[in-house]
Chain A
Amino acid sequence: MKHLFAKVSTAAVVLSATVLFHSNAIAIDVKLTDYLAYLEVGHDGEQVRIQRIQDQDNVLTDGFAKTSRKCPPFCIQPMQVAPGVQTVGEAEMFRFMDRQLEGGTGMIVDARTPSWYKKGTIPGSVNIPFTQFAGELDDSETIMVLERIGAVKRGELSWFTRTFESLMAKLGLFDAHMKTEQWDFSDAKELVFWCNGPWCGQSPRAIKSLLGHGFPAEKISYYRGGMQMWKILGLTVVVPDSKQAVAMK
Protein backbone atom coordinates (compact mmCIF):
# COMPACT_ATOMS: atom_id res chain seq x y z
CA MET A 1 0.00 0.00 0.00
CA LYS A 2 2.83 2.29 0.98
CA HIS A 3 4.58 1.37 -2.24
CA LEU A 4 1.44 2.11 -4.26
CA PHE A 5 1.01 5.44 -2.53
CA ALA A 6 4.62 6.33 -3.31
CA LYS A 7 4.11 5.44 -6.97
CA VAL A 8 0.95 7.53 -7.20
CA SER A 9 2.70 10.46 -5.53
CA THR A 10 5.60 10.22 -7.93
CA ALA A 11 3.25 10.02 -10.87
CA ALA A 12 1.48 13.15 -9.63
CA VAL A 13 4.81 14.93 -9.24
CA VAL A 14 5.90 13.85 -12.73
CA LEU A 15 2.59 14.98 -14.18
CA SER A 16 2.76 18.34 -12.50
CA ALA A 17 6.39 18.65 -13.56
CA THR A 18 5.38 17.95 -17.12
CA VAL A 19 2.65 20.55 -16.93
CA LEU A 20 5.07 22.99 -15.31
CA PHE A 21 7.70 22.47 -17.97
CA HIS A 22 5.19 22.73 -20.78
CA SER A 23 3.69 25.86 -19.25
CA ASN A 24 7.16 27.38 -19.19
CA ALA A 25 7.75 26.25 -22.76
CA ILE A 26 4.50 27.76 -24.05
CA ALA A 27 4.74 31.05 -22.14
CA ILE A 28 5.89 34.00 -24.23
CA ASP A 29 7.44 36.48 -21.85
CA VAL A 30 7.97 39.24 -24.38
CA LYS A 31 4.61 39.79 -26.03
CA LEU A 32 3.60 42.32 -28.64
CA THR A 33 1.01 44.01 -26.44
CA ASP A 34 -0.52 43.00 -23.16
CA TYR A 35 -3.14 40.93 -24.95
CA LEU A 36 -1.26 39.89 -28.09
CA ALA A 37 1.61 37.40 -28.01
CA TYR A 38 2.16 37.32 -31.76
CA LEU A 39 0.26 37.61 -35.03
CA GLU A 40 0.54 36.04 -38.44
CA VAL A 41 0.42 37.91 -41.72
CA GLY A 42 0.64 36.91 -45.32
CA HIS A 43 3.88 37.84 -47.05
CA ASP A 44 4.68 36.78 -50.58
CA GLY A 45 2.20 33.95 -50.41
CA GLU A 46 3.40 32.61 -47.08
CA GLN A 47 2.28 33.11 -43.54
CA VAL A 48 4.83 34.87 -41.39
CA ARG A 49 4.60 35.10 -37.64
CA ILE A 50 5.32 38.50 -36.23
CA GLN A 51 6.76 38.14 -32.76
CA ARG A 52 9.38 39.76 -30.61
CA ILE A 53 12.81 38.40 -29.79
CA GLN A 54 12.48 36.61 -26.46
CA ASP A 55 16.06 37.12 -25.34
CA GLN A 56 15.77 39.99 -22.91
CA ASP A 57 19.48 40.70 -23.20
CA ASN A 58 19.41 41.14 -26.94
CA VAL A 59 20.76 44.41 -28.36
CA LEU A 60 20.96 45.86 -31.84
CA THR A 61 24.36 45.53 -33.41
CA ASP A 62 23.71 46.45 -37.03
CA GLY A 63 23.42 49.82 -38.75
CA PHE A 64 20.17 50.53 -37.00
CA ALA A 65 22.09 50.93 -33.77
CA LYS A 66 23.59 54.14 -35.15
CA THR A 67 22.43 57.26 -33.38
CA SER A 68 23.64 60.02 -35.68
CA ARG A 69 23.45 60.27 -39.42
CA LYS A 70 24.26 63.40 -41.33
CA CYS A 71 21.34 65.81 -41.56
CA PRO A 72 20.57 66.74 -44.19
CA PRO A 73 19.63 64.38 -45.71
CA PHE A 74 18.83 62.12 -42.77
CA CYS A 75 16.88 64.60 -40.73
CA ILE A 76 14.36 63.97 -37.99
CA GLN A 77 10.90 63.98 -39.53
CA PRO A 78 7.92 65.75 -37.94
CA MET A 79 5.10 63.72 -36.41
CA GLN A 80 2.63 65.22 -38.86
CA VAL A 81 3.90 64.50 -42.34
CA ALA A 82 1.02 66.24 -44.13
CA PRO A 83 -2.46 67.53 -43.21
CA GLY A 84 -4.99 64.74 -42.88
CA VAL A 85 -2.37 61.97 -42.81
CA GLN A 86 -2.44 60.01 -39.58
CA THR A 87 0.81 59.03 -37.92
CA VAL A 88 0.68 55.56 -36.36
CA GLY A 89 2.72 53.33 -34.08
CA GLU A 90 3.31 49.61 -33.78
CA ALA A 91 0.04 48.78 -32.04
CA GLU A 92 -1.85 50.48 -34.86
CA MET A 93 0.27 48.56 -37.35
CA PHE A 94 -0.74 45.25 -35.72
CA ARG A 95 -4.40 46.27 -35.89
CA PHE A 96 -4.04 47.31 -39.51
CA MET A 97 -2.34 44.01 -40.35
CA ASP A 98 -5.06 42.04 -38.64
CA ARG A 99 -7.93 43.96 -40.22
CA GLN A 100 -7.23 45.89 -43.38
CA LEU A 101 -4.26 43.91 -44.61
CA GLU A 102 -5.75 40.50 -44.00
CA GLY A 103 -9.12 41.76 -45.22
CA GLY A 104 -7.62 42.90 -48.52
CA THR A 105 -8.58 46.55 -48.15
CA GLY A 106 -5.18 47.74 -46.98
CA MET A 107 -1.59 47.78 -48.08
CA ILE A 108 1.60 48.37 -46.17
CA VAL A 109 4.15 50.14 -48.33
CA ASP A 110 7.88 49.91 -47.77
CA ALA A 111 8.75 53.14 -49.55
CA ARG A 112 12.50 52.62 -49.48
CA THR A 113 14.79 52.06 -52.40
CA PRO A 114 15.50 48.39 -53.25
CA SER A 115 18.94 48.44 -51.63
CA TRP A 116 17.29 49.11 -48.29
CA TYR A 117 14.38 46.77 -48.90
CA LYS A 118 16.68 43.85 -49.60
CA LYS A 119 18.20 44.10 -46.15
CA GLY A 120 14.88 43.24 -44.61
CA THR A 121 11.34 44.46 -44.52
CA ILE A 122 8.32 44.42 -42.26
CA PRO A 123 6.20 41.32 -42.93
CA GLY A 124 3.18 42.07 -45.06
CA SER A 125 4.86 45.02 -46.80
CA VAL A 126 5.18 45.59 -50.50
CA ASN A 127 8.13 47.55 -51.79
CA ILE A 128 7.18 50.61 -53.81
CA PRO A 129 10.16 52.98 -53.70
CA PHE A 130 9.26 56.61 -53.11
CA THR A 131 10.75 57.51 -56.50
CA GLN A 132 7.91 55.67 -58.23
CA PHE A 133 5.38 58.10 -56.82
CA ALA A 134 7.29 61.17 -57.93
CA GLY A 135 6.59 61.08 -61.63
CA GLU A 136 4.06 63.07 -63.58
CA LEU A 137 0.48 61.87 -63.50
CA ASP A 138 0.65 60.63 -67.07
CA ASP A 139 3.94 58.75 -66.61
CA SER A 140 3.54 55.03 -67.18
CA GLU A 141 5.31 54.32 -63.89
CA THR A 142 2.93 56.58 -61.98
CA ILE A 143 -0.06 54.99 -63.69
CA MET A 144 1.18 51.52 -62.75
CA VAL A 145 1.74 52.50 -59.15
CA LEU A 146 -1.66 54.14 -58.78
CA GLU A 147 -3.36 51.11 -60.26
CA ARG A 148 -1.35 48.90 -57.95
CA ILE A 149 -2.74 50.70 -54.93
CA GLY A 150 -6.29 50.30 -56.24
CA ALA A 151 -6.93 53.59 -57.98
CA VAL A 152 -8.99 53.44 -61.16
CA LYS A 153 -8.18 55.56 -64.16
CA ARG A 154 -11.14 57.52 -65.35
CA GLY A 155 -11.80 57.93 -69.00
CA GLU A 156 -12.11 61.24 -70.74
CA LEU A 157 -14.83 63.13 -68.91
CA SER A 158 -17.44 64.91 -70.88
CA TRP A 159 -18.20 68.56 -70.19
CA PHE A 160 -21.52 67.48 -68.78
CA THR A 161 -19.97 65.00 -66.33
CA ARG A 162 -17.44 67.54 -65.15
CA THR A 163 -20.07 70.19 -64.63
CA PHE A 164 -22.45 67.77 -62.95
CA GLU A 165 -19.78 66.52 -60.52
CA SER A 166 -18.74 70.04 -59.73
CA LEU A 167 -22.31 71.02 -58.98
CA MET A 168 -22.93 67.91 -56.88
CA ALA A 169 -19.73 68.55 -54.96
CA LYS A 170 -20.89 72.07 -54.17
CA LEU A 171 -24.16 70.62 -52.87
CA GLY A 172 -22.27 68.07 -50.82
CA LEU A 173 -23.76 65.21 -52.82
CA PHE A 174 -20.56 64.14 -54.48
CA ASP A 175 -17.46 62.92 -52.72
CA ALA A 176 -15.13 65.18 -54.62
CA HIS A 177 -12.03 64.32 -52.65
CA MET A 178 -12.17 60.64 -53.67
CA LYS A 179 -12.02 61.49 -57.35
CA THR A 180 -10.00 63.72 -59.54
CA GLU A 181 -10.60 64.35 -63.19
CA GLN A 182 -8.26 61.51 -64.06
CA TRP A 183 -8.46 59.10 -61.15
CA ASP A 184 -11.07 57.50 -58.94
CA PHE A 185 -9.66 56.67 -55.52
CA SER A 186 -12.96 55.53 -53.99
CA ASP A 187 -11.95 51.89 -53.91
CA ALA A 188 -8.23 52.43 -53.51
CA LYS A 189 -6.51 50.63 -50.67
CA GLU A 190 -5.89 52.20 -47.31
CA LEU A 191 -2.16 52.64 -47.15
CA VAL A 192 0.45 52.66 -44.43
CA PHE A 193 3.78 54.06 -45.56
CA TRP A 194 7.02 53.51 -43.74
CA CYS A 195 10.73 53.70 -44.32
CA ASN A 196 13.83 53.56 -42.15
CA GLY A 197 12.54 55.48 -39.17
CA PRO A 198 12.16 58.98 -37.75
CA TRP A 199 15.32 60.09 -39.55
CA CYS A 200 14.20 58.85 -42.95
CA GLY A 201 12.56 61.03 -45.55
CA GLN A 202 11.68 58.35 -48.09
CA SER A 203 8.13 57.58 -47.00
CA PRO A 204 7.30 61.26 -46.33
CA ARG A 205 8.37 61.97 -49.91
CA ALA A 206 6.20 59.13 -51.19
CA ILE A 207 3.24 60.41 -49.19
CA LYS A 208 3.64 63.98 -50.43
CA SER A 209 3.96 62.84 -54.03
CA LEU A 210 0.86 60.70 -53.72
CA LEU A 211 -1.11 63.55 -52.18
CA GLY A 212 0.05 65.65 -55.08
CA HIS A 213 -1.66 63.22 -57.44
CA GLY A 214 -4.93 63.76 -55.60
CA PHE A 215 -4.93 60.64 -53.44
CA PRO A 216 -7.11 61.27 -50.37
CA ALA A 217 -5.14 61.96 -47.22
CA GLU A 218 -7.56 60.04 -45.02
CA LYS A 219 -6.53 56.85 -46.80
CA ILE A 220 -2.88 57.32 -45.89
CA SER A 221 -1.15 56.58 -42.61
CA TYR A 222 2.48 57.16 -41.78
CA TYR A 223 4.35 54.68 -39.61
CA ARG A 224 7.03 57.10 -38.53
CA GLY A 225 8.90 54.58 -36.38
CA GLY A 226 9.79 52.54 -39.46
CA MET A 227 12.48 49.90 -39.48
CA GLN A 228 14.36 51.66 -36.68
CA MET A 229 11.59 51.18 -34.15
CA TRP A 230 10.55 47.83 -35.58
CA LYS A 231 14.05 46.50 -34.96
CA ILE A 232 14.58 48.09 -31.56
CA LEU A 233 11.41 46.31 -30.44
CA GLY A 234 12.83 43.01 -31.66
CA LEU A 235 10.04 42.44 -34.16
CA THR A 236 10.22 39.94 -37.01
CA VAL A 237 11.87 41.13 -40.19
CA VAL A 238 11.62 39.31 -43.50
CA VAL A 239 14.70 39.30 -45.70
CA PRO A 240 13.29 39.17 -49.24
CA ASP A 241 16.01 37.19 -50.95
CA SER A 242 16.22 34.52 -48.32
CA LYS A 243 12.40 34.26 -48.12
CA GLN A 244 12.79 33.58 -44.45
CA ALA A 245 11.52 35.44 -41.48
CA VAL A 246 14.45 36.70 -39.51
CA ALA A 247 14.03 37.38 -35.87
CA MET A 248 17.20 39.38 -35.71
CA LYS A 249 19.34 37.12 -33.58
Chain B
Amino acid sequence: MDISAIGPASKLEKTARILVAGLILWVLPGMGLQANDDYLSMLEAEAGDTNAKSGKPADPVSHEPPAKKHYVKKSDVIQSGLDFEGFEEELDSNFSGSHLLYVKLSNSNRRRVYKSYKEDNRISAIREKIVKLLSSG
Protein backbone atom coordinates (compact mmCIF):
# COMPACT_ATOMS: atom_id res chain seq x y z
CA MET B 1 0.00 0.00 0.00
CA ASP B 2 1.25 3.43 -0.92
CA ILE B 3 1.24 5.57 2.20
CA SER B 4 1.39 8.74 0.24
CA ALA B 5 -2.03 7.80 -1.04
CA ILE B 6 -3.49 8.55 2.39
CA GLY B 7 -5.27 11.77 1.86
CA PRO B 8 -6.62 14.53 4.08
CA ALA B 9 -9.80 12.48 4.91
CA SER B 10 -7.79 9.87 6.76
CA LYS B 11 -5.85 12.54 8.56
CA LEU B 12 -9.16 14.04 9.67
CA GLU B 13 -10.25 10.65 10.90
CA LYS B 14 -7.05 10.30 12.88
CA THR B 15 -7.49 13.71 14.43
CA ALA B 16 -11.08 12.93 15.34
CA ARG B 17 -10.02 9.71 17.01
CA ILE B 18 -7.37 11.53 19.02
CA LEU B 19 -9.89 14.15 20.09
CA VAL B 20 -12.43 11.55 21.17
CA ALA B 21 -9.79 9.64 23.10
CA GLY B 22 -8.71 12.84 24.79
CA LEU B 23 -12.29 13.67 25.67
CA ILE B 24 -12.82 10.25 27.18
CA LEU B 25 -9.61 10.53 29.19
CA TRP B 26 -10.73 13.94 30.38
CA VAL B 27 -14.18 12.75 31.38
CA LEU B 28 -13.27 9.35 32.89
CA PRO B 29 -11.46 10.55 36.03
CA GLY B 30 -14.43 12.77 36.73
CA MET B 31 -16.75 9.81 36.39
CA GLY B 32 -14.52 7.87 38.80
CA LEU B 33 -14.74 10.67 41.30
CA GLN B 34 -18.51 10.81 40.88
CA ALA B 35 -18.70 7.05 41.47
CA ASN B 36 -16.68 7.52 44.65
CA ASP B 37 -19.00 10.29 45.80
CA ASP B 38 -22.01 8.09 45.11
CA TYR B 39 -20.49 5.25 47.09
CA LEU B 40 -19.74 7.52 50.02
CA SER B 41 -23.23 8.96 50.05
CA MET B 42 -24.74 5.47 49.98
CA LEU B 43 -22.44 4.43 52.80
CA GLU B 44 -23.55 7.38 54.91
CA ALA B 45 -27.18 6.72 54.14
CA GLU B 46 -26.82 3.12 55.23
CA ALA B 47 -24.95 4.19 58.37
CA GLY B 48 -27.88 6.41 59.26
CA ASP B 49 -30.25 3.57 58.66
CA THR B 50 -28.31 1.06 60.71
CA ASN B 51 -28.97 1.73 64.35
CA ALA B 52 -26.40 0.24 66.65
CA LYS B 53 -28.13 -0.57 69.89
CA SER B 54 -25.85 -0.32 72.82
CA GLY B 55 -26.31 -2.57 75.75
CA LYS B 56 -25.22 -2.83 79.29
CA PRO B 57 -21.54 -1.87 79.41
CA ALA B 58 -19.02 -4.49 80.33
CA ASP B 59 -16.44 -3.59 82.98
CA PRO B 60 -13.21 -3.29 80.97
CA VAL B 61 -10.93 -4.04 83.89
CA SER B 62 -12.98 -6.67 85.58
CA HIS B 63 -11.28 -9.81 86.73
CA GLU B 64 -14.54 -11.43 87.67
CA PRO B 65 -16.45 -13.60 85.29
CA PRO B 66 -18.65 -11.42 83.12
CA ALA B 67 -21.55 -13.84 83.21
CA LYS B 68 -21.95 -13.17 86.91
CA LYS B 69 -21.16 -9.50 86.94
CA HIS B 70 -22.68 -7.96 83.92
CA TYR B 71 -25.84 -9.66 82.88
CA VAL B 72 -29.14 -10.31 84.54
CA LYS B 73 -30.08 -13.04 82.20
CA LYS B 74 -33.13 -15.27 82.33
CA SER B 75 -31.23 -18.05 84.11
CA ASP B 76 -30.26 -15.63 86.92
CA VAL B 77 -33.83 -15.37 88.19
CA ILE B 78 -36.61 -17.72 89.09
CA GLN B 79 -39.83 -16.88 87.31
CA SER B 80 -41.78 -14.60 89.59
CA GLY B 81 -45.33 -15.12 90.84
CA LEU B 82 -45.10 -18.85 91.43
CA ASP B 83 -46.94 -20.54 94.26
CA PHE B 84 -44.98 -22.62 96.75
CA GLU B 85 -45.25 -25.87 94.76
CA GLY B 86 -44.41 -24.09 91.55
CA PHE B 87 -41.38 -22.51 93.16
CA GLU B 88 -40.10 -25.87 94.40
CA GLU B 89 -40.69 -27.41 91.00
CA GLU B 90 -38.85 -24.58 89.24
CA LEU B 91 -35.95 -24.91 91.64
CA ASP B 92 -35.78 -28.64 91.03
CA SER B 93 -36.04 -28.36 87.23
CA ASN B 94 -33.68 -25.47 86.57
CA PHE B 95 -31.47 -25.03 89.61
CA SER B 96 -30.72 -28.54 90.69
CA GLY B 97 -27.60 -27.57 92.64
CA SER B 98 -29.60 -25.20 94.79
CA HIS B 99 -32.43 -27.71 95.07
CA LEU B 100 -30.01 -30.32 96.41
CA LEU B 101 -29.37 -28.08 99.40
CA TYR B 102 -32.90 -26.79 99.63
CA VAL B 103 -34.30 -30.24 100.34
CA LYS B 104 -32.09 -30.50 103.42
CA LEU B 105 -34.03 -27.65 104.98
CA SER B 106 -36.88 -28.17 107.36
CA ASN B 107 -40.38 -27.35 106.15
CA SER B 108 -40.44 -24.10 108.05
CA ASN B 109 -37.11 -23.03 106.56
CA ARG B 110 -38.30 -23.92 103.12
CA ARG B 111 -41.22 -21.58 103.69
CA ARG B 112 -38.74 -18.91 104.71
CA VAL B 113 -36.87 -19.41 101.44
CA TYR B 114 -40.15 -19.15 99.57
CA LYS B 115 -40.93 -15.90 101.38
CA SER B 116 -37.53 -14.52 100.38
CA TYR B 117 -38.18 -15.57 96.79
CA LYS B 118 -41.37 -13.50 96.77
CA GLU B 119 -39.35 -10.44 97.77
CA ASP B 120 -36.34 -11.12 95.56
CA ASN B 121 -36.52 -13.74 92.81
CA ARG B 122 -32.81 -13.65 91.89
CA ILE B 123 -31.32 -17.10 92.22
CA SER B 124 -28.23 -15.68 93.89
CA ALA B 125 -30.36 -14.23 96.70
CA ILE B 126 -32.27 -17.46 97.07
CA ARG B 127 -29.07 -19.47 97.24
CA GLU B 128 -27.74 -17.14 99.88
CA LYS B 129 -30.87 -17.64 101.93
CA ILE B 130 -30.60 -21.41 101.61
CA VAL B 131 -26.99 -21.42 102.70
CA LYS B 132 -27.72 -19.07 105.60
CA LEU B 133 -30.53 -21.26 106.84
CA LEU B 134 -28.46 -24.41 106.45
CA SER B 135 -25.58 -22.97 108.41
CA SER B 136 -27.82 -21.75 111.19
CA GLY B 137 -28.88 -25.37 111.77
The one of A47, A63, A248 in contact with B50, judged by C-beta atoms closer than 8 angstroms, is: A63
Query: Which residues of chain A come closer than 8 Å to B54, judged between CB atoms?
Result: 120, 239, 242, 246, 248
Contact B47 A54 (CB under 8 A): no
B51 & A247 in contact (Cβ 8 Å cutoff): no
A27-B131 in contact (CB<8A): no
Contact check, B74 vs A55: say whether CB atoms are below 8 A apart: yes
Q: How far is the CB of A119 from chain B (nearest CB, A)?
A: 4
Residues of A within 8 A of B13 (CB): none
Judge if A29 is at the interface, Cβ distance under 8 Å.
yes
Which residue of B43, B55, B73, B104 has the most chain A CB atoms within 10 A of its CB atom?
A: B43
Known: A46-B60, A66-B50, A116-B43. A248 touches B137 (CB 8 A): no
Q: Establish whether residues A63 and B60, one from each chain, have CB atoms under 8 Å apart when the complex forms.
A: no
Give the chain B neighbours of A7 by CB distance below 8 A.
Answer: 137
Q: In the complex the two chains form, is A17's CB within 8 Å of B134's CB?
A: yes
Q: Please determine whether B66 and A119 come into contact, CB atoms closer than 8 angstroms.
A: no
> In the complex, A166 Cα to B55 Cα: how many Å?
56
* Given A17-B134, A63-B49, A64-B50, CB of A247 within 8 Å of CB of B70: yes
Does B3 reach chain A (CB closer than 8 Å)? no
Residue B52 interfacial (CB < 8 Å): yes
Question: How many residues in A have their beta carbons less than 8 Å from beta carbons of B?
Answer: 56
In whole angstroms, what is the CA distance A11 to B52 when docked? 50
Contact yes or no, A28 B71, CB < 8 A: no
B127 at the interface (CB under 8 A from A): yes
Contact A28 B97, CB 8 Å, known A13-B134, A64-B50, A74-B46: no
Q: List the B side residues contacting A70 at CB < 8 Å.
A: 42
Question: Could you say which of A27, A115, A202, A245 contacts B57, with CB atoms under 8 Å apart?
Answer: A245
* Interface flag for A69 (CB, 8 Å): yes
Residue B53 at the chain A interface, CB threshold 8 Å: yes
- Chain B residue nearest in CB terms to A16: B101
**Complex Cα spacing A21 to B51, Å:** 38
Question: How long is the Cα–Cα vector from A73 to B66 in the complex, in angstroms?
Answer: 38
Assess the B57–A28 pair: CB atoms within 8 A. Answer: no
- Shortest B97–chain A CB gap in Å is 5
CB of A113 within 8 Å of the partner chain = yes
Q: Which residues on the A side are within 8 Å of B59 (C-beta)?
A: 49, 245
Q: Which of A6, A20, A57, A202 contacts B97 (CB 8 A)?
A: A20
A113 to B39, CA, bound (A): 11
**A10: shortest Cβ distance to chain B, in Å?**
6
A24 within 8 A of B: yes
CB of A210 within 8 A of chain B? no
The answer to whether B50 touches A119, judged by C-beta atoms less than 8 angstroms apart, is yes
Chain B positions 76-127 with a Cβ under 8 Å from a chain A Cβ: 97, 101, 104, 127
Which residues of chain B come closer than 8 Å to A119, judged between CB atoms?
47, 50, 52
A30 vs B67: C-alpha distance when bound (angstroms): 9
Would you give the 0/1 interface string for A205-216, flagging 1 where the beta carbon is closer than 8 Å to chain B? 000000000000
B47's partner among A49, A55, A115, A244 (CB-CB below 8 A) is A115
A10 touches B135 (CB 8 A): yes
Which A residues form the contact surface with B (CB < 8 A)?
A: 6-7, 10-11, 13-14, 17-18, 20-21, 24-30, 38, 43, 46-49, 51, 53-55, 57, 61-64, 66, 69-70, 73-74, 113, 115-116, 119-120, 131, 134, 201-202, 236-237, 239, 242, 244-249
